[in-house]
Amino acid sequence: QVELVESGGGSVQPGGSLRLSCKASGYTMSGRCMGWFRQRRDKARELVASIYTDDYTTYYDDSVKGRFTVSLDTGENTVYLQMTSLKVEDTAKYYCATDRRSSWACSPRYWTTAGDRGQGTQVTVSS
């Protein structure tokens, strides 16, 4: 049985930090993209960060570059999203997702549909 379970969401003030975790069960951690999508109010779901399992190549949406860091612990089958300098506009439900594809296809330009994803975790940034 395959499963993605997120944790680590919460409420934080602008400028604060949070770390999201996603435990993947039942997946072979090779030849696939692991990523974080988010859905903001009245916006389409979007990929903000991803990592390729085989070479740890990372990709980021321009809106989070320099502030978010995605990482992968293949031994623990866990992908992380470290979020710093959070802004009000980062408020969203964040979903962990995975898909079998080539490294180049993990970028936000090509990975536009979440496919297998978890239930999501809410991140709220407000003063």
Q: How far apart are CA 79 and CA 22, in angstroms?
A: 5
Q: How far is CA 25 from CA 48, 76, 78, in A?
A: 22, 10, 9
Looking from the CA of 46 toward its CB, the CA atoms found within 13 Å total 16
Cα 108-47-109 angle, rounded to 5 deg:
15
Instruction: Give residue 114's pLDDT.
Output: 87
- The one-digit pLDDT tens for each residue of the chain (127 residues) are 899 999 999 999 999 999 999 999 999 999 999 999 999 999 999 999 999 999 999 999 999 999 999 999 999 999 999 999 999 999 999 999 999 999 999 999 999 998 899 999 999 999 9
| The predicted structure's pLDDT at residue 38 | 98
Q: Give Dmax (Cα) for the chain.
A: 41
